[in-house]
Amino acid sequence: MNKNYLLRLCFIANFIYLSSCSEDSSPLPKSDQSVSEGKVLLRKAQTGKQALEDGSTYTGELMRGEPHGYGKKDFPQGDEYEGQFQKGRAHGHGTYRFKQDELIDRYVGMWANDKWNGYGTLVLTDGSRVTGQWIKDRLEYGDYQGSDGSIRSGKWRGNWDFLEEGFSRDSFGAEYNGIFNSDGSYRSGFINNPNGDLYAGEFLANSYHGKGILEKVDGTLYVGDFEDDQYSGSGMLLSSDGSKYTGQFSEGLPNGFGIEEQVNGVRYFGTWADGLKEGAGTVDFGNGATYIGVFKNGFALDGKYDWGDGRVTDSYQDETGTWLDR
């Protein structure tokens, strides 16, 4: 017999022996194999349809008998959610459509434990949109774009319709930066009006109210108290011609005691009514002459005119403002 042939036979015999030694000679019982295979199947996502305890119907991926993965949930009232699930709850990215809500159309964005959580967009039935960061259904930071062209952006106090602090532009073009009230009205901040007027201060029902500064496009500057958009209380009014009034105001006009300083150096100290000098007052002409007396409808009615050179006369003004002696 050939020597090489014998060597080949020995090699084959050893290979068969070693192979038989490596095999498991005691396989799992059939029942144990079924349990193992079942556990593997449970760990794998399956697709199915099931009725849930809340009356809704789910169609999509399942794991351990509950929604997990991608699917769609139809609610009894007609609403529907389509997107990602985790352990039976909306979790991940998804879209919820409101069928019965008159205000909200849908929410598209991130979810966590059945709540809006993360970046998302709320679309209203009129086409308005609210986009931003949500935490447990509450808007924290984001932007509102109204169907009428209005914009609100900044920090929100939970409810998507309550901007706490930030920027807004209404449908007329007025731009506001500041703090808002719970009803959406301005509380305190800065507003740039469409006509070019600038205001910084306090508000009530979106009207200038409280302390504020108003710079008008014609160059007029007012610093002081406001009520219902009008000068009211104490303030300082600097007119475009350079004259200045400091004192009391009512309904937008000097009322009460006030001081007027004209650009030519003439100053008036006294009382006012409806924007005109009225009652007791003093005029300092800035050249050494003074007048002390009574005023009516803005003109000197009766008083003493000290000319500054030793002469003192009883004087008044006619309807043109010309000074006359009695």
Quick one: three-class SS letters along 177-234? EEEECCCCCEEEEEEECCCCCEEEEEEECCEEEEEEEEECCCCCEEEEEEECCEEEEE
**Phi, then psi, of 247 in degrees rounded to 5:** 160, -145
If phi over 0 gives left and psi between -120 and 50 gives alpha, with beta otherwise, what is residue 210? Answer: left
Where is pLDDT greater, at 52 or 23?
A: 52
pLDDT tens for residues 96-108?
999 999 999 999 9
Domain boundaries defined on the chain = 264-326
Q: What is the pTM of this model?
A: 0.76
Give mean pLDDT, residues 117-139. Answer: 97
pLDDT at position 76 over 80: yes
Residue 326: predicted pLDDT? 87
Who's near 193: CB < 8 A, 6+ residues apart? Answer: 174, 199
User: Mean pLDDT across the stretch 237-265?
Assistant: 98
For residue 226, what pLDDT is reported? Answer: 99
The CA distance from 323 to 99, in Å, is 80
**Pick the residue with more confidence: 197 or 19?**
197
pLDDT for residue 6 is more than 60: no
| pLDDT winner (highest mean) among 46-50, 128-132, 160-164 | 128-132
- Write out the H or E segment, with its range, that includes residue 305: strand 299-306
Those residues whose C-beta lies under 8 Å from the C-beta of residue 2, and which sit 6 or more positions away, are: none
Q: Which amino acid is at 99?
A: K
Average the pLDDT over 109-115 and give the result.
98
What are 132's strand-pairing partners?
120, 142
Q: Taking the CB of residue 115, how many other CB atoms lie within 10 A of it?
A: 16
Q: What are the tens digits of pLDDT across the range 191-232?
A: 999 999 999 999 999 999 999 999 999 999 999 999 999 999
pLDDT digits (tens, 9 = 90+) for 294-319: 999 999 999 999 999 999 999 999 99
Write down the pLDDT at residue 45.
Answer: 58
pLDDT above 90: residue 13: no
- Region 123-137: mean pLDDT is 97
pLDDT interval class at 159 (50, 70, 90): confident
